[in-house]
A and B are shown apart, each in its own frame.
Chain A
């Protein structure tokens, strides 16, 4: 197991190098001189020259890439023009909020998807099943940024149950304040989990070992809770793994709208202020996050299902 994980980690090295290379090239496709684009038209010639030297723009392209790679490996991810701080410092302050939304939205998605998946699997092919599927189709069709405002309109401005945005102090305050943003991200994940879990439940119910359990004399309820549900949930782990890139991407939109000071807000603000090193560093950081979470879900999957091997 340990060796397999080590092997997986080594296999990640080329992907990680590719990620930095792609993010580096991102800045190269920008039209014009990066320094003057970043500083604006009012910058003096000395300022521009200083900026070019700071970024190593006077060096050949491959040297520039090595500089960037060094920044990524040493963990600073570059220095922000606007904040004048290493990007990792900016990230560290905002990461908890983004991770909180990712985790919270996944919990919400599971809570919503689980009962409907069980109900749909139990009544498969019948009206209930079809109706549930159509409700989730409507959920997927709702654009997240619009859904944010609809929820603000009805639940925050209308009923006054929730704040229109912002974060609070402490776990409970944020559990309450991050509910709406996490709900928006969670709803689209819920639709996917419901579909796959329903299919997995139906598959498992037809497996031979369920017949064995029934032949042993176990009651239906016990069979479901002890055998069918746990085995079906394993497949949900891999679905969340595949989906995590979307979940993390979805946080960008909701953070901006609900004024959550997370990584997504940082990215949008960097785009608005044309803080190019932050755009580049954050893009790498986001991708590394996805790679790490994917690795964790793969390991969980292998631990939960002995038939799966980490290759």
Chain B
């Protein structure tokens, strides 16, 4: 609650939170906002430019793009959030273990991160899904293999720093168990910078999951996922540019929301004094 209040006091955090609340509300209230069905075909109204009736215009099948973009939010947000926070959980545990136990555990885990780190993100994700075959599950597998390294590195560094602080010494002197010191005292403090980082990670991951369906390797049609909306629009780009532009703007909107939220979080979570 205090975090929320601090977040709202920060302009960037407040705007970011408001944008997310608006998106969530629009996703839930889609039937109230739009009279159209995101899947129903209506050839009589194909490729209409944006108007008072069709805010974002219609596509080559006469489907309302505004409705489809709203319906797509569920896919993109679900994919992006799972692909960020799932791997984040793995990365935090790996970083914590490496930083706390040190020695061989640290050396082994960090060499593993070095190896995964060497692969360009898009190359490794494309290769994994390319080998496994296109599907949403395989997309998750690929992101879980790739996306944890950033968190492992951040949390390891933080854990090393925090372990040397006085309050950890105090907890040790009090003969608190290792597990308790690690989970109750180090973990919450070491996770803070990882949480800030995760916001910018969401920005890039929304783009990445959309890019995967853009290459035909992620969510499959006829889902109104944003990357799919864009790839399906390419052939009509000359006659109906709104088909390409609006789904992309939805990704930009989400990106700005999370970027601002990250900026707000980094201010709100900064230790006092």
A residues apposed to B, CB below 8 Å = 14-15, 18-19, 22-23, 26-27, 29-31, 137-138, 140-147, 149-150, 152-153, 157, 245-246, 248-250, 252-253, 256, 267-268, 270-272, 274, 276, 279-280, 282-283, 286-288, 290-291
Q: Are B255 and A141 in contact (CB under 8 A)?
A: yes
With A26-B131, A149-B237, A267-B127 in contact, is A249–B255 under 8 Å at CB? no
Closest approach, in angstroms, between the C-beta of B238 and any C-beta of chain A? 6
User: Across the interface, do B123 and A30 meet the contact criterion of CB distance under 8 Å?
Assistant: no
Q: Given A18-B111, A149-B230, A252-B126, are A140 and B255 neighbors across the interface (CB < 8 Å)?
A: yes
- Does B119 have its Cβ within 8 Å of any Cβ on chain A? yes
Bound-state CA distance A31–B126 (Å) is 17
What's the interface size class on B, roughly? 35 or more
8 contacts between A and B (CB under 8 A): A140-B259, A141-B254, A143-B210, A145-B210, A149-B237, A153-B245, A283-B124, A290-B118
Given contacts A26-B127, A149-B234, contact A249 B120 (CB under 8 A): yes
Within residues 214 to 243 of chain B, which ones have a CB less than 8 A from any CB in chain A? 214-217, 227, 230, 234, 237-238, 241
Q: How far is the CA of A23 from the CA of B131 in the complex (A)?
A: 11
Which B residues lie within 8 Å of A147 (CB)? Answer: 248
Are the CB atoms of B119 and A145 closer together than 8 Å? Answer: no
Let me know if B77 is at the binding interface, CB within 8 A. Answer: no
A137 in contact with B111 (CB, 8 Å): no
> Is the Cβ of A287 less than 8 Å from the Cβ of B118?
yes
Smallest CB-CB A-B distances: 10 pairs:
A141-B255, A249-B120, A271-B130, A18-B115, A146-B248, A249-B122, A143-B207, A287-B118, A286-B123, A248-B120
**Is A138 a contact partner of B238 (Cβ separation < 8 A)?**
no
Provide the bound-state CA to CA distance between A130 and B112, in Å: 39
Determine the distance from Cα of A245 to Cα of B122 in the docked complex, in whole angstroms. Answer: 9
Whether A142 pairs with B122 at a CB distance below 8 angstroms is no
Q: Digitize B236-273: 1 where CB-to-A-CB distance is under 8 Å, 0 elsewhere.
A: 01100100110110011111100110010000000000
Which residues on A sit within 8 Å (CB–CB) of B121?
A: 245-246, 249
Q: Which of B112, B237, B252, B263 contacts A142 (CB 8 A)?
A: B252
Q: Quick check: A138 and B252 within 8 Å, CB to CB?
A: yes
Beyond A153-B237, A249-B120, A249-B121, list 8 extra A-B contacts (CB 8 Å): A31-B132, A145-B211, A149-B230, A153-B241, A253-B122, A283-B127, A287-B119, A288-B118
Task: Scan B190-224; emit 1 where CB is below 8 A from any A CB, else 0.
Answer: 00000000001001001100110011110000000
CB distance from A238 to the nearest CB of B (A): 15
Asked if B37 is at the interface of the complex by the 8 Å CB criterion, the answer is: no
Contacts of B207 in A (CB 8 A): 143-145
Q: A18-B115, A252-B122 are in contact. Are A26 and B251 (CB under 8 A)?
A: no
